[in-house]
Amino acid sequence: MYLADSRHTPASDTAPAPRPGRPARIATTVLALGTVSLVTDVSSEMVTAVLPLYLVTVMAVSPLGFGVLDGVYNGATVVIRLLGGLLADRPGGHDAHGHGTDGHGRHKAVAAAGYGLSALCKPALLLARTTPVLGLVLAVDRAGKGLRTAPRDALISLSTPPERRARAFGVHRAMDTVGALAGPLLAFLILRAAPGGYHAVFTVSACVAALGVLVLVLCVPARPGGMVGGVLPLPAGRPVARLLRLPGLRRVCLCAALLGLATLSDSFVYLFAQRRLGLPAGWFPLLPLGTAAVYLLLAVPLGAAGDRYGRRRVFVLGHLALLSGYALLLLRPAGGLPVAAVVLTLHGLFYAATDGMLAAATAAVVPASRQGAGLALVSTGQAAGRFGCSLTVGVLWARWGDGAALAAVTAALAGAVAVAAYVLRPGPALGKEAA
């Protein structure tokens, strides 16, 4: 991905050069945003963990209605991500001396709007009594997530020197994953203490979400000090068209979309694991925790490895791990739970090796003034690709069975990884890979 040799990159004044033998410190902005994401994920994952049961047992939603709501919940962010990035990158007007401002203060404002929108939706779940109203609340909640993602990642990249971005994103994603682990466990404890107490879960979730917004407002600076960005100038033209004229970003975006088209959603991975490995239905709610635990353990060390040894290598390694997990499910070996543990380990390794690496790659080839839009463009392409993969796999599964669907996506991923490894090879557009 970002292949520039860090020895030739100017240092940022946000984090001084590390002493020999000591790791570089993480910028305060990154840690603050990690805390916001941790708290917010506790809130959102509490809802995600109980929502299917709530829809079926309390709201009596039909299977078709559930499918529509699930699609809204997972697809609403795709529509709004690019808008969030473009809004965050808009010029900020003029300062008190009449000089133009670069608009980076908008990143925090747009991110806060996204977090605030999602926080307001949590108590609204208590008032939703019909399926259409519930669908609207879920759509607005996910729109808030889409709105905040690109500006938040832009703040991380702008506050971190380019040679340490993969590690910074790894730290943020690890903190985020702590929340993803804690949320379902907290929801489980609430329901155990008050069986059927879904409204209690929503109430606690609303309070936690409000705390996340408060941390963002009080602890995250509007303008990261010593901002650093891509070294390429931005061509003239409309914002998105100008970004796509940058050869490095074009290559990263193409690979993100192509790999997304061959990447199963988490729900499909867990369904395939449960069905093809014969796992008891009672184990199903714990499968996401396995992926999240591995992600938490490996996000920071793999981010540091990407900065040191080359992000392209780590990115491709992560997709090869995912390909191995698909192959295991396709071969259907005996073993049940132990094989499932291996698959979940490979699944978590995939996320740890690719999520932060993709963001660092994008930040490296986009000017500082367009970090939000550039990150949003790549993540939108990736999300749209994964949405297309889910639709395709669903059709194949319904028509020819889960084996044929899994075989098709495994073959597609093998081809996509080969193409991505070639397209992302070191070159003028992406720079020289770190040794």
Please report which residue ranges of 90-127 form alpha helices under DSSP H.
Answer: 105-124
pLDDT higher than threshold 90 for residue 97 = no
Q: How far apart are CA 155 and CA 48, in angstroms?
A: 27
CA distance 153 to 371: 8
* Residue type, position 76, single letter: A
Task: Answer yes or no: is pLDDT of 382 > 70.
Answer: yes
CA distance 204 to 207: 5
pTM, two decimal places: 0.73
Task: State the average pLDDT for the chain.
Answer: 80
Query: What average pLDDT score do residues 52-56 get?
Result: 73
What pLDDT sits at residue 357? 87
| Residues 194-218, mean pLDDT to the nearest whole number | 91
Q: Cα separation of 35 and 212, whole Å?
A: 8
95 falls in which pLDDT band (50, 70, 90)? very low
Binned at pLDDT 50, 70 and 90, residue 11 comes out as very low
Residues 417 and 316 sit within 8 Å (Cβ to Cβ): yes
The answer to whether residues 107 and 135 touch, using CB atoms and an 8 Å cutoff, is no
Q: Are 185 and 50 in contact (CB under 8 A)?
A: no
Model confidence at 98: pLDDT above 60: no
Residue 225 has pLDDT above 60, yes or no: no
Centroid of chain to Cα 408: 25
pLDDT of 49 > 80? The answer is no
- Name the pLDDT band for 9 (thresholds 50, 70, 90): very low
- Residue 135, pLDDT score: 81
Name, in order, each residue with C-beta under 8 angstroms of 241's C-beta and a sequence gap of 6 or more. none
Other Cβ atoms within 10 Å of 68 Cβ, number = 14
Report the 3 state secondary structure along 306-371: HHHHCHHHHHHHHHHHHHHHHHHHHHCCCCCHHHHHHHHHHHHHHHHHHHHHHHHHHHHCCEHHHH
pLDDT at 129 over 60: yes
Enumerate helices (H) and strands (E) in the chain, giving the number of each.
14, 0
Greater confidence (291 vs 336) lies with 291
Alpha carbon distance, N-terminus to C-terminus of the chain: 14
Task: Give the pLDDT confidence score for residue 36 in this predicted structure.
Answer: 95
Which tens digit of pLDDT belongs to each residue from 332-355? 877 788 999 999 999 999 999 998
Whether 224 shows a pLDDT value over 70: the answer reads: no
In the prediction, which pLDDT does 48 show? 78
- From the list 161, 223, 152, 76, the residue with the least C-alpha distance to 371 is 152
**Which of the four pLDDT bands, split at 50, 70 and 90, describes residue 376?**
confident
Buried b (16+ CB within 10 A) or exposed e, 25-57: ebbbbbbbbbbbbbbbbbbbbbbbbbbeebbee
Q: Give the pLDDT mean for 224-234.
A: 48
Q: Which residues contact 185 (CB under 8 A, 6 or more apart)?
A: none
> How confident is residue 90, by pLDDT bands cut at 50, 70 and 90?
confident
What would the mean pLDDT of 356-371 be, rounded to a whole number?
82
Return the pLDDT at 105. 63
Q: What is the DSSP letter of 223?
A: S
Local confidence band at 432 (pLDDT 50, 70, 90 cut-offs): very low
pLDDT of residue 96: 41
Mean pLDDT of 315-329: 95
Total length of the chain: 435
pLDDT of residue 347: 96
